[in-house]
Amino acid sequence: MRQSWFRYLGLLDLLLVAGFVALFGPASLASSIVMPAMLLAGLSALLAGSVAHIALGPVTVSWRYLVGVTYALFALVLPASYLPSVLAGTAAAAEWLLFVVGTVGGLTLLFYGVDVVREGGNFEIETDVERTIG
């Protein structure tokens, strides 16, 4: 896999958010944590696939950290879809099952993001972007 492919993941994510907003209106962004998290994940993935580093004052952020943020947000989105009904005690059996499956799926996405940040040996991503912002 190449680093530049993350920009397409970000674009796809942003298109999904835009479609959701087009169907349900801008107020839908504030209805739960899912849409803002998807928006931030899309922006983070788009940046991760477009730049090698972002300099923020004395701190330089690598594209790997942006990928980590992207997958951490994706990991949050899966169980967060069903969390309100689970916490309220109104979740049906199917919602409980989807919450548990979403949590397990979220943990696998989180593992992927952490592995990319740590440059672990489980997933190999070729760096092919040289641009730096800042």
Cα–Cα distance list, 92 to 34, 78, 105 (Å)? 20, 17, 20
Question: How far apart, in whole angstroms, are the C-alpha atoms of residue 92 and residue 21?
Answer: 27
- The pTM (predicted TM-score) of the whole model is 0.90
All residue ranges of the chain with pLDDT < 70 are none
- The answer to whether residues 41 and 75 touch, using CB atoms and an 8 Å cutoff, is no
pLDDT at residue 31, rounded to an integer: 87
Residue 40: exposed, middle, or buried by beta-carbon count in 10 A (0-12, 13-18, 19+)? middle
* Tens of pLDDT, residues 33-43: 999 999 999 99
Structure-block tokens of residue 51:
């730049």
The amino acid present at 36, given as its one-letter code, is P
pLDDT at residue 77, rounded to an integer: 94
pLDDT at residue 28, rounded to an integer: 87
How much of the chain is helix, strand and coil, in % rounded to 5?
A: 70, 10, 25
Residue 133 backbone phi and psi in degrees, to 5: -105, 135
pLDDT at residue 132, rounded to an integer: 86
Structure-block tokens of residue 86:
């689970």
